[in-house]
Structure 1
């Protein structure tokens, strides 16, 4: 299948396709992509055009096709839908590809420069990606229920949704954090610095049960924490499946590339992160590096994971009895990787400048509205810090209140910090910041409502004193 001979005019070509085919710099990368496409079948006669005009979804589909072959699967492309009918040594399963794309009117992933990093936070990146991944997965689930599940070659087989984000310029910084929220309502471990030693200590975990689309519209998370999506057996995900992966696999090329990122250290004696900064000729990356599979413990047709074990793949799961999020990461797993091409040849520099000028835009894009909570409303956020759990959070008079239950004595207390926070990590950071004022209760209460009222009373006293002094 010839995916690179243009079938559409330049003006209709996607920015990535135009760069790869017109710059004269990407012959090694083109060779890799042709290898991925070897044996792929354009079943509806639209694939080549879509690869050249929308690029990302077709790129992801080619990557998955190459991965399934790498895993030893036989890929049956004789059916019109779903995307992949697969046979492995451990049974048959069905896989459907999708991407999370930018909302209409929002900045597309290709329109970026590094200066934009100063204008956005990781929380904002994660919030948008959480919404977009949730939407993409839900849409494919609905398609399965209404269509795929009725097909003879699909019935009673594990159904896997393969999703990756291309929803914003710095989508690659989210790692798997947004998808963990979507599927397991899990946010992150809570970590502090040990003041006596140069080490980090895990003191608990933060959960994320809802994501705010706009003030007043909060959407539930945790698709794999109950039976609501039992028809979906698993999710395959790889946020490292980008042009950078193609560059890494291509090896030497016409320009230098600097790769930086981190890999997991997982052994019997050590757990940690190994960071790297390597030039193109030094760096090695496999096709499967950075790949994740998220299992649904409530699946009607569970997926046999043996095909993924012992490979460069992180396996996520959820214990439906203990409600614990579980993660199995292989040693040297690729957590993060970005790459920076370095064009030193004068002709290459001119070519890239011409390309960037051709895609520059003065369009004003939309952003998600800032997150905002209703005043004086106690919200369950869950999670655990040491012996404290069943956490609730509220905003009150510019303060954030955290109400917690002591698991030992089964009574309630509260803390507050004079900054608006929206999750546990933000609250911990604000509480440790000496520029903020923090208060707590010296007594314990039988109910969360009483503890909440007591901490609000202390905040009211602070306001009265402040106003009196003024």
Structure 2
């Protein structure tokens, strides 16, 4: 599958794709890494290339997931067009649907915002997280309905765990939400970064979680939080999530000697900042991945399916209204990449 030869007029190309095919030496490293992720991925419906070149994020998320599942050694069953993946592991066979949280029709796309110093200085985490929760909720509910209306009728889906793989791309600076929004949506477990930063002395043990109950949309409608705190969505076994499966992941894994990766990792001793060149392979493809298990799932996803160092798995302790995380003290928390680009007109696409 040739993803990188432009097939459409420049005005139709997504800004990320247009940037990807620019003739810079640094871009060649990223393109090669992307093609490594893509190896063996089928263009089942004949639309994948168009979607990658014109809308990008949802296709990129599917490519990332495919590369992750290949890294795990899962077996793919490509006989079925839906859900997106039918995967076999030593623990079980399960189905998985990929979905991205995207910007509202009248909102600024994630790629259009200018991430300047003033942007980061003025960020309001509660507003950023409110928008993220709303858009993640829209994505979750739409795929939940699709499962109930269509997927649940298929024999290859019935009796097996069904997993949603969700990625946020809903606004400029979306990666700053970390996992606050998804945990609020699924478990009504919200860490108020803004409250903590305004008065850290009031929280000697760090930011604390609280229940919000709901968030309000711009039109005044309320979105109830805690989708995994009851049986309404028991057909969703788990949610796979990453706010770090972005183009920065490609750059960090590209081996580019001109790419410098600044990252923060959790450890039993606290947060550890690291700076490394991409040629030093500073992170793995599964770093930043989080799995949220539904305690009410009709068909639970076994924990051993995604168990791996650096991959955080989360279960709810409903009695104590807390979350229990596996690998939470040994994982990638954030990452940024600085690239030195050198123009090379003859650099092959």
The answer, yes or no, to whether TM exceeds 0.5 is yes
Q: Higher strand fraction: Structure 1 or Structure 2? A: 1
SS of alignment partner, residue 62 of structure 2: helix
Tell whether 2:235 aligns with 1:231.
Answer: yes
1:111/1:156 CA distance change after superposition, 3 Å: same
Shift of 1:62: 0.5
Greater shift in the superposed pair: 256-265 or 169-178: 256-265
Shift of 1:277: 3.2
- Correspondence for 2:151: 148
Greater shift in the superposed pair: 45-54 or 334-343: 334-343
- Correspondence for 1:462: none
Tell whether 2:187 aligns with 1:172.
Answer: no
Greater shift in the superposed pair: 88-97 or 24-33: 24-33
Greater shift in the superposed pair: 35-44 or 321-330: 321-330
Greater shift in the superposed pair: 222-231 or 70-79: 70-79
- Counterpart CA distance in 1 for 2:57 and 2:23 is 19
Residue pair 2:235, 2:298 contacting (<8 A) in 1 also: yes
Summarize deviations over 1:111-170 as a string: whole Å, max 9, x none.
Answer: 122143344311121111010001101100000000000001100100000010111110
Tell whether 2:9 aligns with 1:9.
Answer: yes
- Counterpart CA distance in 1 for 2:266 and 2:122 is 29
1:283/1:86 CA distance change after superposition, 3 Å: closer
Residue pair 1:109, 1:170 contacting (<8 A) in 2 also: yes
- Correspondence for 1:97: 98
Tell whether 2:261 aligns with 1:264.
Answer: no
Tell whether 2:251 aligns with 1:247.
Answer: yes
Residue pair 2:243, 2:288 contacting (<8 A) in 1 also: yes
Q: How does 1:346-365 map to 2 (within 5 A)?
A: 347=343
Alpha carbon RMSD of aligned pairs, Å?
2.2
SS of alignment partner, residue 163 of structure 2: strand
- Correspondence for 1:457: none
Determine which of 206, 214, 221 is the counterpart of 1:217. 221
1:160/1:34 CA distance change after superposition, 3 Å: same
Tell whether 2:27 aligns with 1:24.
Answer: no
Count of aligned positions: 338
SS of alignment partner, residue 263 of structure 1: strand
Summarize deviations over 1:69-120 as a string: whole Å, max 9, x none.
Answer: 1112101122111100000010100000000001002111111221433443
- Counterpart CA distance in 2 for 1:182 and 1:174 is 13
- Correspondence for 1:460: none
- Counterpart CA distance in 1 for 2:41 and 2:279 is 30
1:281/1:178 CA distance change after superposition, 3 Å: same
Summarize deviations over 1:365-398 as a string: whole Å, max 9, x none.
Answer: xxxxxxxxxxxxxxxxxxxxxxxxxxxxxxxxxx
Residue pair 1:193, 1:201 contacting (<8 A) in 2 also: no
Determine which of 264, 273, 282 is the counterpart of 1:284. 282
Shift of 1:22: 2.6
1:165/1:193 CA distance change after superposition, 3 Å: closer
SS of alignment partner, residue 320 of structure 2: coil
- Correspondence for 1:380: none
Q: Which runs of 5+ in 1 are unaligned?
A: 351-470
SS of alignment partner, residue 40 of structure 1: coil
- Counterpart CA distance in 1 for 2:44 and 2:219 is 43
1:194/1:16 CA distance change after superposition, 3 Å: closer
Residue pair 2:103, 2:169 contacting (<8 A) in 1 also: yes
- Correspondence for 1:130: 133
Residue pair 2:137, 2:185 contacting (<8 A) in 1 also: yes
1:38/1:235 CA distance change after superposition, 3 Å: same
- Correspondence for 1:313: 311
Q: Which runs of 5+ in 2 are unaligned?
A: none
- Correspondence for 2:36: 35
Shift of 1:236: 0.3
- Counterpart CA distance in 1 for 2:136 and 2:328 is 25
TM-score by length of 1: 0.68
1:244/1:205 CA distance change after superposition, 3 Å: closer
Residue pair 1:311, 1:330 contacting (<8 A) in 2 also: no
Q: How does 1:78-93 map to 2 (within 5 A)?
A: 78-93=79-94
Residue pair 2:184, 2:226 contacting (<8 A) in 1 also: yes
- Correspondence for 1:328: 326
Determine which of 181, 191, 207 is the counterpart of 1:188. 191
- Counterpart CA distance in 1 for 2:155 and 2:328 is 36
